[in-house]
Amino acid sequence: MGWVYKRGRSWGVRQLRYFRLHKGVLSNHVDEYADATWSVTVSECSVTVNAERGNIDIATGGPSIRIHPIGTVEFQSWARALTTAAAVSSTSASANAKRPADVVAGPESNLISTKTVLTGLLNGKKLLS
């Protein structure tokens, strides 16, 4: 779980969102305390990792999800977690997962604190190479 950029519905503008991946279900949140605005069972999706562009696409059968994790370590963590979840058939995944209204995605653990990410973003600092 953690903060990532997602491709927005309007003109594809990137939006910073909090994502959770729990028991194979990926969910999108406006902040880390908000209820999910949508969720999707990753084992029912196709995951494509583009390290060159720094994004991960999740094909849901409906609107696709594109995420841009912040930093190299976070990108690698999300890529590993999502590809693993997509490859595993999960019977414990939520049957009530809602389809995303727009796009985009996070790993099981966040290796950089939310406060550090937000402080760095607000101050325009490069957090990781």
Q: Over the stretch 56-85, which tens digit does the pLDDT of each residue have?
A: 999 988 888 999 999 999 999 999 999 999
CA angle, 64 then 70 then 74, to 5°: 90
Tell me if 3 sits within 8 A of 74, measured CB to CB.
no
Nearest CA-CA partner of 110 in 122, 97, 127, 90: 127
Give the mean pLDDT of 36-48: 94
pTM, rounded to two decimals: 0.66
Whole-number average pLDDT of the chain: 77
Q: Which amino acid is at 77?
A: S
Residues 94, 49: Cα–Cα separation, whole Å: 24
